[in-house]
């Protein structure tokens, strides 16, 4: 089965073509047009601007990937949520039009599910004591992005149970806000991670919320506020590079500690987990990747980390998720499909 996938949930326009046979996936092409430079001047993504850029870039990218007639394509997968409504709408309406014009089945995909399925793309396996190519079920997915921090238990393809989620700020959102406090600009996550290099992660005892409550939920609002109060208290040192590095490193360490320890707790309490999957934009964070790999070694459970090019938004992951949904016959009517900016994975 050959899938054309479209992703336009935020500020990346992406198109991919993937062929699947059984459990074997072959990615033929993956195109991504980032809008980071455009939105950086605003300090964040402007939905209407993102939508206009998607509209300009999407069809040339589709034509480059599969031509004008869709020959050889068996189904079209598209991100239908969550995300920015104007941005989502461009991708969904394009996919609906192509599905009707080419007479192809249409597969709506949840963006969060797509991030999980990056683990099924090539080179996703970084550490596996069993030397498996793909994740085995049951699997535990840690989704960490700008809008989501969730632990999801996965018993099979398309079968999800959310164990825990953030009760306030997501980890990626906290990174962005701390970056703004430090005057680093957008996007915040990579900038804070870069600044943390050479910093002392134990310089500041920032809080690790909810570690002892026995739940799988997260809270990063208090951590963000603690950083703010520290910066205000030490305002005279705000331009001292060592101070700034220590703040970034200590903040990042607190986030990673919470994410990894909650993941450990979920593995211990659920029992029988055969794979741990890291998913979402914050999956590109090296400190988090290293600590999860260490956890996998301690627990003798394979850890699946997406290649860096599939950590951020892309259509290859939507194609992978769409393929397994298409296999299950999970199609939508192209005349009635609408976007869902608040779509959840469960």
pLDDT 10s digits, 315-335:
999 999 999 999 999 999 999
How far is Cα 29 from Cα 31, in angstroms, rounded to an integer?
7
Q: In terms of DSSP bridges, do strands 275-279 and 139-144 run parallel, antiparallel, or are they unpaired?
A: parallel
User: Residue 176, class by beta-carbon neighbours within 10 Å (0-12 exposed, 13-18 middle, 19+ buried)?
Assistant: buried
**pTM of the full structure:** 0.93
Cβ-contact 231, 244 below 8 angstroms: no
Write down the pLDDT at residue 122: 67
Strand order of the β-sheet with 12-21 is 24-34, 12-21, 2-7, 75-81, 106-110
Write down the pLDDT at residue 129: 37
Write down the pLDDT at residue 125: 46
Structure-token pair, residue 251: 């903040």
The full set of domains in the chain, from first to last, is: 2-122+310-327 (3.30.420.40), 126-305 (3.30.420.40)
pLDDT tens by residue, 256-270: 999 999 999 999 999
CA 225 from chain centre, in angstroms, equals 24
Write down the pLDDT at residue 232: 97
Structure-token pair, residue 68: 């004008």
Rg, C-alpha atoms of the chain: 20
CA 176 from chain centre, in angstroms, equals 15
Write down the pLDDT at residue 186: 84
Low-confidence residues of the chain, pLDDT below 50? 125-132
Query: In angstroms, how far apart are the furthest CA atoms of the chain?
Result: 65
Cβ-contact 5, 78 below 8 angstroms: yes
Reported as half-sphere exposure (CB side, CA atoms, 13 A), residue 251 has a value of 38
Q: Please state at what angle helix 171-181 crosses helix 188-196, rounded to 10 degrees.
A: 70
Closest CA to 18 of 6, 33, 32, 9: 6
Phi-psi region of 84 (alpha: psi -120 to 50; beta: other; left: phi over 0): beta
pLDDT tens by residue, 105-115: 999 999 999 99
CA 344 from chain centre, in angstroms, equals 13
């Amino acid at each position: 089965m050959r899938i054309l996938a479209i992703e336009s949930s935020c500020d990346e326009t992406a198109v991919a073509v993937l062929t699947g046979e059984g459990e074997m996936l072959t990615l033929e092409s993956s195109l991504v047009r980032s809008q980071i430079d455009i939105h950086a001047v605003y300090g964040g993504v402007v939905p209407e601007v993102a939508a206009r850029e998607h509209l300009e870039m999407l069809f040339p990218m589709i034509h480059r990937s599969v031509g004008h007639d869709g020959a050889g394509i068996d189904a079209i997968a598209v991100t239908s949520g969550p995300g920015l409504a104007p941005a989502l709408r461009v991708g969904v309406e394009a996919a609906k039009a192509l599905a009707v014009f080419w007479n192809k089945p249409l597969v709506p995909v949840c963006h969060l599910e797509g991030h999980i399925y990056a683990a099924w793309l090539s080179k996703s396996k970084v550490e596996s004591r069993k030397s498996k190519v793909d994740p085995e079920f049951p699997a535990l997915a840690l989704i960490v992005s700008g809008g989501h921090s969730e632990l999801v238990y996965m018993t099979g393809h398309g079968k999800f149970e959310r164990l825990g989620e953030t009760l306030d700020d997501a980890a990626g959102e906290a990174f962005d806000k701390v970056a703004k406090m430090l005057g680093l600009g957008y996007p915040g996550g990579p900038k804070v991670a870069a600044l943390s290099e050479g910093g002392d992660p134990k310089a500041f005892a920032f809080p690790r919320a909810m570690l002892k409550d026995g739940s799988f939920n997260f809270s990063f609002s208090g951590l963000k506020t603690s950083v703010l109060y520290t910066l205000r208290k030490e305002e005279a040192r705000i331009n001292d590079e060592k101070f700034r590095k220590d703040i970034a490193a200590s903040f990042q360490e607190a986030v990673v500690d919470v994410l990894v320890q909650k993941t450990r707790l979920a593995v211990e309490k659920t029992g029988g987990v055969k794979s741990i999957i890291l998913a979402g934009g914050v999956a590109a964070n090296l400190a988090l990747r290293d600590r999860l790999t260490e956890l996998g070694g301690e627990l003798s459970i394979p850890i699946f980390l997406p290649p860096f090019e599939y950590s951020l938004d892309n259509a290859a992951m939507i194609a992978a998720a769409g393929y397994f949904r298409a296999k299950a016959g999970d199609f939508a009517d192209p005349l009635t499909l609408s976007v869902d900016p608040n779509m959840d994975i469960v």
